[in-house]
Structure 1
Amino acid sequence: MPTPDADESTDQTVPLRRSLGLYAVLTISIGAMVGSGIFVLPGLAFKIAGPSVVLAFFLAGLVVLPAALSKAEMATAMPQSGGTYLYIDRAMGPMMGTIAGFGVWFSLVFKAAFALVGLSAYLEYFVVHPERVVAAILALLLVGVNLVGIKQTAKLQIALVTAVIIVLIGFVSVGVPLIDVASFETFTPFGMKGLISAAAVVFVSYSGVTKVASIAEEVRRPGRNIPTGMLISVGFMMLLYPAIVAVIVGTSAAEDLSRTETPMTLAAQSFLGSVGVTVIAGVAVLALLSMANAGIIASARYPFAMARNSLAPSFLGSVGRRSGAPVAGILVTGVVLIGLVLFVPLIELAKLASAFQLLVFTLINLALVAFREAKLDWYAPQFRSPLYPAPQIFGIVAALLLLTQMGIVPLVGAVAFVFVGVFWYRTFGKSRAVKASASRDALRLREDARLVESSAAAVTSGGRRLVLVLIRRPTRPARQQTLFRLALRLVSAPGGRIHIINFDARTAGMVPTDRDRAAADALGIAITAENYTHEDRRGMVHRFVEHEGVDLFIADLPQDLRATRHITRDLRWLREHLTCDSVFLRNRAVEDIDLIAVLGTGGPYDPVKIEMADHIARYETASIRFVHLTPSDSPLAQGDSIHAYHEQLGGVLTVAWDDRVEATDDLVETLAGLARGANLVILGAPTHRFQIVTDLADRIAESVDCPALLVHTPRLEKPGMITRFIQWWVN
């Protein structure tokens, strides 16, 4: 039964006071587990596994342990308020974070719906009512309570946790001596398949154990108290759950137990009498109501957190002025919750909640593997999962095994949600998210040496043998001069050649000017030019590049991309089909150059960007500034590693340089601010991002107050299949 303090919101920017000791950690962790699982599931699981349901609860706990160890370690490495979404996003990137965010949200909503339907069954002991309608009404009321704010419910939640634990221990103490051993004679009537299937269904009973990691920032001595509290609480529940279920099975008729949705009151009737039944039913109602309320509190914060990280529509990140609650997130959660309560059977709610939780726990274990294998300097947990990676491998394999035993609906639901998460990220979140993670950093570190070596070779190459300059119609004379000036700085000197293809009849013969020719002659650079009115412009340029072996293609982009789609379409086609590097000038013409800003370092475009920046800066007597951004919640050591990479790049330059590394959630505006003062900006324009207007690179270029060069190269070294797969997931 999660407390509000244990919700997994990731939007915490103000440091919190460390006031929670080991006992508080135990209370939160145990309280987060107790709820619908034990009050409703024993009967449903008994129908699947028979008396071996007792063992099923224990096995489910074993599968939870690796995730508890993994999350305890990550919490001590990053003792900040956060949760599953935060760790997975930081470990494996925003796409996996998106999948995790959806997964945890779905799991919490299904668990809340399951609790409400179970609650309505226990209410039958007090008043006759249509169960689903009452459950929907309760869901509506809880949504209203949460729209007002959650502070009003915090103390009540803590009191309920204590009361429920006392009642459950009393239930076991009184019931154990009355167990009929004969009830367990046929222990596994449905074999191992039934046992494993039941373990999968009851897995949701342990889902709250890792919630304490979400409040790591408030825990004293987190390196000791978090792992100790989590492991003790899991161990305690692995004993308490089977003991409760053993009492239920041993004191109830098998036929009745397999049909009931209120197994604890069924058992209580045989040895606690009417008063005991009323007490159990009353505690169940309060516990399940509290569980449902906590589920809404926690789940509503996932759309909120994802919106703040640009992975969901911005309106989901809004909060109420008075309540401070994520209003849109609560409303979206409420709509889904009411739909589930009204139309999804109880057993399917339990299976789907467990299925999504199994998938999330698999991602938690994978996140720890990502952090460990990345070998990052800033990842220094105070607690380390023992016997790594054996527990994590066991947890991943066991969770996936349980997932396959839950039936077609939960399995299809889990797989579908992964595809939905991938599709959502690829279509909505990718262009907006700040991409940083342990996996990405690990790939980056392995690529640094190669990139520095390639950059050094490019800087000392002496320039391009043949540079092609395209003058489209219409192009202002000042921009034509800028294109030629860029070509003059990037071509080999002496011995290089600049060829101009001019489709603007108004300026035929005007470019290059006599001054340009004189400058080229002084450097030993040949100039040739052709004027055309040919309709198949891109075809002609493409044939020239292929026939002559052009090394670099230079063109300018129209100021208004929307109004000149045909021109942009041709340039995009050329960029995608030419076998040489391409440079596209955006914004106004280049004037005096004192400072060149290279945006976004650490990628495959670095050698080309740095070569061009160094050649231009050398001839213009300018300096270079490397600019790179990280997420606002990234560790300081991550920025240090980027500074170190810039130091290596600076070592291959022939001009003065500096760098700016900043943490932010506003990628475009921050880059524009850091580039302020530069006379020229250089950034990469990969194929999949070079879209009209909506492209990230173009939005950045549009926001900077100076000329921008968008660079593309087809000469990227393709990594191996496994590396490409990892890059696809973390990017």
Structure 2
Amino acid sequence: MTLNSSLRRHLNLPAVFTVSLGAMIGSGIFVLPGLATELAGPAAIVAYFLAGLIVVPAALSMAEMASAMPMAGGTYLFIDRAMGPLMGTIAGFGVWFALVFKSAFALVGFEGYLDFFVDIPVEWVGVGLAVLLTALNSTGVRVSGRFQTIIVAAVLGVLGFIVIGGASTTDTAVFTPFAPEGVGGVLAATGLVFVSYAGVTKVASIGEEVKNPSRSLPIGMLGSIGLMLILYPALLAVVVGNVDPAQLAGDPAPMVTAAGKFSGTIGQDIVAITAILALVSMANAGLLSSSRYPFAMARNSLAPRIFERVGTKSGTPTVSVLVTGSVLVLLIATVPLVELAKLASAFQVLVFSIVNLSVIAFREANVPWYQPGFRSPFYPYVQIAGIAGVLVLFTQLGFFPLFGAIGIVVLGWIWYRLFGQSRVSHESALLDALRLRATSRLIDLTRDALSLEGRDHILVPVSDTISSNRLRNLLRLAAHLAAEDGRITVARVDRDVEGALWWRRTVFPQASDPFRVGIRQIADDLGIDVGVVRPRGSDVRGAVNDYIARHAVDLVLSYQSDVSRRRRGFAASIRWLQEHASCDVAVLHRRLIGELGHIAVMGAGSPYDVMKIDVGNRLASEPESTLAFVHVLPEDSTDPQVDAIEKYHAQLEDLCGAVTSSSVERSPEFIDAIAERGRGADLVILGASRRMTGLGPELTDNIAEAVGTPVLVVSSRNPGTPGLLRSTLERLIY
């Protein structure tokens, strides 16, 4: 991934720190304390601290990704690269939506503090401030950053004054009982105040405008959340200890009320002004960061290109700032923001879990360009704890916010389908990570299979009409696949006069039986020992499965020839065994094998079943034999998909003892491509499965007919064979 910057880097570490703080200091402490204490009592102090701890893993993850990708877009960019353009679009659209609503909410949330000075509609003031902030951000990030630094410094000074001054007048008796609503109340309050910390990740979206981002972004983000982890609980302790609990529950300006206990009217005025400045600072941080999302999405073809325009003098994404500011003004003037801000907050909670998952995807994918200057400590335990904590928190938000989060996801999906899907082609680090893990698992299983000597007991069911040449073919294959001390047993299946298959109840007669004599002659030619049985019972399918279980058969090797009327019952039974036998099954289709000079293992999409590689490698053990790995992928397969299969083939070539070759190609016609590749082979090996994810019998018949050369179809029942879920996942990631 090439990180080309088109924005100017003006922001230093203090600016990053104050932007991050400004995004957190706001409604979380100036509006929410009353609501939090109503839910949890004095234990709301713990709720603030617990909410901060839940955010820490996401902050660590964001700091790591921001140091690796200091580009405009922040959360959107990270999720897009980690989880793919669909998830990136949903995150970009949703986080932009959430930040704009929270900024609008901040500009009308200081109504209780504004009332101390003037009695005018807060919406008018909010619209005026939104226009001012939009103009300020359009002039350049340097001016906006200085404005943010001044405001946050002033706010921090006043908040420190409140903590120090309020500590002396705090009534400790109000802290008993500490948690009247129990753990449930604390969790509910945690879900409410979680949004107080959510702004810590906003600063990552302006990473492209930060000087020395690999140092400034992690220090600024983690330093700011560390400070707030101390400041928020301390402020709430002062508020709870200085305001009557009954008054606090409905107080729109709890900080002012608390300040009045130890600083009088002057102190209240100072705190009211500070609250207004803090909320304006939060709105400014939200506008500054949210305006970078359309810019970043446009640069990745997920939004109209007009959002990509950068002002020649200001060096900022001017169009994106103006459009975001216009939406902000419109929302303040027309929309009931309180409930919609709750919807936005629920989506941000969801995004935090995806942020933690994104770091896991990057780390596990070993993406070459992912070289963070800061790495999250205690990986991956911190991220896993963060995901679990956020999911628990998600259950505390209530139905309406959850419904809103789902609605934002749906809107983002619709935007991607209508606008972005046809314009993007890159894949995600998550897919890379899943492919690496899946391939590593398959290679380990293949190595284990190839290290074994061979099959311990091979059962070869044949009909009483089998030709000598076909029987020789089957026993030749069995000789290659059996272990040195393994058993090979031929089971002769006869028909009665009515055409129903059954096992004769008598043992073989004298040694002069022509069938037995023929087997002995073939076995002597191949240098192997072969047993012959006629298991008892009238149900051939049940009898075979019973024999498999009783005699520890680990491979059934049989054939499908032309399905004449005489052989239709035998063919149906072999097909049934392919789908239901309790051991591996290999079926030779129709044509006879000549030499085993060139063997082709065929695959489509996902990697091979281990059994195909094991069988192919053992059959290619003859002198001058070669083994070809052939994969035919859909025509729309991406370059990373092709590359993943090619790397998989390369690892297989290192494992196999035979002389190998590899071919991976895209084709719109799977059967035609397989047939073309298979026509030059002496034997083609295909995989079939009893599961719906495998090649069905009709498809394997069609391929065998199209190839025109002998085809061996293998069906694995090994415990390592992927189940339906894993098979489906492999087909999706490859």
Residues 1:52 and 2:63 are matched in the alignment: no
Could you tell me how far 1:196 is from its partner in structure 2?
1.3
2:25 paired residue number: 34
Could you tell me how far 1:322 is from its partner in structure 2?
6.7
Could you tell me how far 1:405 is from its partner in structure 2?
1.0
> Structure 2 matches for 1:115-264, cutoff 5 A?
115-143=106-134, 145-146=136-137, 151-214=142-205, 226-264=217-255
1:492 paired residue number: none
Q: Deviations over 1:407-439 (max 9, x none)?
A: 211111112222322333234322211222212
> Structure 2 matches for 1:337-348, cutoff 5 A?
338-339=330-331, 342-344=334-336, 346=338, 348=339
**Equivalent position to 1:303, from 283, 294, 304:** 294
Change in CA separation of 1:310 and 1:248 when aligned onto 2, cut-off 3 Å: same
| Structure 1: tracts of 5 or more residues without a match | 1-9, 453-547, 549-601, 608-625, 632-637, 658-681, 688-713
* Greater Cα radius of gyration, structure 1 or 2: 2
Residues 1:277 and 2:268 are matched in the alignment: yes
Change in CA separation of 1:138 and 1:74 when aligned onto 2, cut-off 3 Å: closer
> Structure 2 matches for 1:656-671, cutoff 5 A?
none
Whether the 8 Å contact between 1:117 and 1:135 is mirrored in structure 2 is yes
1:370 paired residue number: 361
Could you tell me how far 1:363 is from its partner in structure 2?
0.9
- Give distance in 1, aligned partners of 2:115 and 2:274: 14
Whether the 8 Å contact between 2:104 and 2:328 is mirrored in structure 1 is no
**Equivalent position to 1:355, from 346, 353, 358:** 346
Could you tell me how far 1:218 is from its partner in structure 2?
6.8
2:323 paired residue number: 331
2:377 paired residue number: 386
**Equivalent position to 1:438, from 429, 440, 454:** 429
Whether the 8 Å contact between 2:605 and 2:731 is mirrored in structure 1 is no
Q: Deviations over 1:19-49 (max 9, x none)?
A: 845x665444334322232222212322332
Q: Deviations over 1:329-361 (max 9, x none)?
A: 643563366336644253x35533431221111
Change in CA separation of 1:103 and 1:272 when aligned onto 2, cut-off 3 Å: same
Aligned AA (1:98): T
Change in CA separation of 1:126 and 1:642 when aligned onto 2, cut-off 3 Å: farther
**Equivalent position to 2:54, from 33, 58, 63:** 63
- Give distance in 2, aligned partners of 1:217 and 1:321: 16
Could you tell me how far 1:135 is from its partner in structure 2?
2.8
Could you tell me how far 1:243 is from its partner in structure 2?
0.6
Whether the 8 Å contact between 1:204 and 1:350 is mirrored in structure 2 is no
- Give distance in 2, aligned partners of 1:723 and 1:424: 30
Whether the 8 Å contact between 1:66 and 1:391 is mirrored in structure 2 is yes
> Structure 2 matches for 1:582-593, cutoff 5 A?
none
Aligned AA (1:392): Q
- Secondary structure of the 2:397 match is coil
Change in CA separation of 1:148 and 1:233 when aligned onto 2, cut-off 3 Å: closer
Q: Deviations over 1:232-281 (max 9, x none)?
A: 43222111101111111111122222112222112112221111111111
Whether the 8 Å contact between 1:49 and 1:194 is mirrored in structure 2 is yes
Change in CA separation of 1:229 and 1:449 when aligned onto 2, cut-off 3 Å: closer
- Give distance in 1, aligned partners of 2:372 and 2:73: 16
> Structure 2 matches for 1:373-522, cutoff 5 A?
373-443=364-434, 445=436
- Give distance in 1, aligned partners of 2:323 and 2:10: 32
Whether the 8 Å contact between 1:113 and 1:340 is mirrored in structure 2 is yes
Q: Deviations over 1:151-202 (max 9, x none)?
A: 5433221111111111111111111111111222132233322221221121
Aligned AA (1:243): A
- Give distance in 1, aligned partners of 2:387 and 2:413: 20
> Structure 2 matches for 1:535-550, cutoff 5 A?
none
- Give distance in 2, aligned partners of 1:225 and 1:302: 21
Change in CA separation of 1:119 and 1:19 when aligned onto 2, cut-off 3 Å: closer
Could you tell me how far 1:282 is from its partner in structure 2?
1.3
Aligned AA (1:393): I
- Two-structure CA RMSD over aligned residues (Å): 4.5
Aligned AA (1:306): M
- Relative to the length of structure 2, the TM-score reads 0.59
Could you tell me how far 1:228 is from its partner in structure 2?
4.7
- Give distance in 2, aligned partners of 1:176 and 1:343: 40
- Give distance in 1, aligned partners of 2:232 and 2:252: 17
Aligned AA (1:360): V
Change in CA separation of 1:220 and 1:93 when aligned onto 2, cut-off 3 Å: same
- Give distance in 2, aligned partners of 1:232 and 1:439: 29
Change in CA separation of 1:151 and 1:78 when aligned onto 2, cut-off 3 Å: closer
Whether the 8 Å contact between 1:33 and 1:206 is mirrored in structure 2 is yes
Whether the 8 Å contact between 2:9 and 2:211 is mirrored in structure 1 is no
- Give distance in 1, aligned partners of 2:309 and 2:204: 25
Whether the 8 Å contact between 1:109 and 1:337 is mirrored in structure 2 is no
Residues 1:102 and 2:74 are matched in the alignment: no
| Structure 2: tracts of 5 or more residues without a match | 444-561, 563-602, 609-634, 654-658, 671-698, 704-714, 716-720
Whether the 8 Å contact between 1:118 and 1:262 is mirrored in structure 2 is no
Indicate the percent of aligned positions where both proteins have the same amino acid. 49
Aligned AA (1:88): I
Segment of structure 1 superposing worse, 218-227 or 124-133: 218-227
Residues 1:13 and 2:19 are matched in the alignment: no
- Give distance in 1, aligned partners of 2:153 and 2:294: 31
- Secondary structure of the 1:310 match is coil
> Structure 2 matches for 1:554-703, cutoff 5 A?
604=605
- Give distance in 2, aligned partners of 1:169 and 1:103: 34
Change in CA separation of 1:226 and 1:388 when aligned onto 2, cut-off 3 Å: same
Change in CA separation of 1:342 and 1:222 when aligned onto 2, cut-off 3 Å: closer
Whether the 8 Å contact between 2:70 and 2:213 is mirrored in structure 1 is yes
Could you tell me how far 1:93 is from its partner in structure 2?
0.7
Whether the 8 Å contact between 1:319 and 1:327 is mirrored in structure 2 is yes
Whether the 8 Å contact between 2:10 and 2:142 is mirrored in structure 1 is no
- Relative to the length of structure 1, the TM-score reads 0.59
Aligned AA (1:102): F
Residues 1:88 and 2:67 are matched in the alignment: no
- Secondary structure of the 1:402 match is helix
- Give distance in 2, aligned partners of 1:49 and 1:628: 54
Could you tell me how far 1:150 is from its partner in structure 2?
5.0
Change in CA separation of 1:229 and 1:172 when aligned onto 2, cut-off 3 Å: same
Change in CA separation of 1:446 and 1:685 when aligned onto 2, cut-off 3 Å: farther
Q: Deviations over 1:278-334 (max 9, x none)?
A: 111112222212221221222122123212212233444455677654425643563
Whether the 8 Å contact between 2:159 and 2:235 is mirrored in structure 1 is yes
